[in-house]
């Protein structure tokens, strides 16, 4: 939390414009917001592509959650199955803080399994 914001809240309490309970709620909300944004910055989306026959990993790419919107929309161009409402639902889950494996599909024509994880 920015010390200027905290000082401003304390000045409002001192001036009688804000009660101690209101100030406490504001300070708690600001701290929670900061923790949430720090967690979001540290989270990664990982896309893993595995060969179906050999089981060998062909690719593994990790991107920060903040860039997932761009990455998934780009991926939807390569995998048309992941577009429209399916893409929007996936983006919403990531933004809402979901973790673990969010998506798995097999491309039988290419002989690949594609998985998407949020870590």
Convert the pLDDT of each residue in 77-88 to its tens digit.
656 666 667 777
Give me the pLDDT at residue 70, please: 67
- Report whether 18 contacts 40 (CB < 8 A): no
- Parts of the chain with a pLDDT under 50: none
Structural domain boundaries, residue 54:
44-118
Question: Residues 35, 48: one domain?
Answer: no
Domains of the chain: total: 2
Give CA torsion, residues 47, 52, 54, 57, to 10 deg.
0
Question: Residues 20, 61: one domain?
Answer: no
Instruction: Write down the pTM of the prediction.
Output: 0.55
Question: Residues 48, 30: one domain?
Answer: no
Distance between CA 71 and CA 116 in Å, rounded? 12
Question: Residues 68, 111: one domain?
Answer: yes
- The torsion region of residue 73 among left (phi > 0), alpha (psi -120 to 50) and beta comes to alpha
The pairs formed by 5-13 with CB atoms below 8 angstroms and a separation of 24 or more are 5/30, 6/30
Record the tokens describing residue 30, joined without a space: 């600001």
Question: Residues 49, 102: one domain?
Answer: yes
């Amino acid at each position: 939390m920015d010390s200027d914001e905290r000082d401003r809240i304390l000045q409002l309490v001192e001036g009688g414009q804000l009660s101690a309970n209101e100030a406490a709620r504001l300070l708690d909300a600001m701290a929670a917001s900061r923790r949430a944004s720090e967690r979001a910055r540290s989270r990664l989306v990982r896309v893993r592509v595995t060969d179906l026959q050999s089981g060998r990993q062909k690719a593994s790419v990790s991107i920060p959650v903040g860039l997932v919107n761009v990455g998934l929309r780009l991926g939807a161009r390569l995998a048309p199955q992941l577009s429209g409402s399916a893409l929007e639902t996936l983006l919403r889950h990531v933004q809402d803080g979901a973790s673990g494996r969010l998506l798995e599909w097999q491309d039988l024509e290419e002989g690949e399994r594609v998985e998407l994880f949020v870590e």
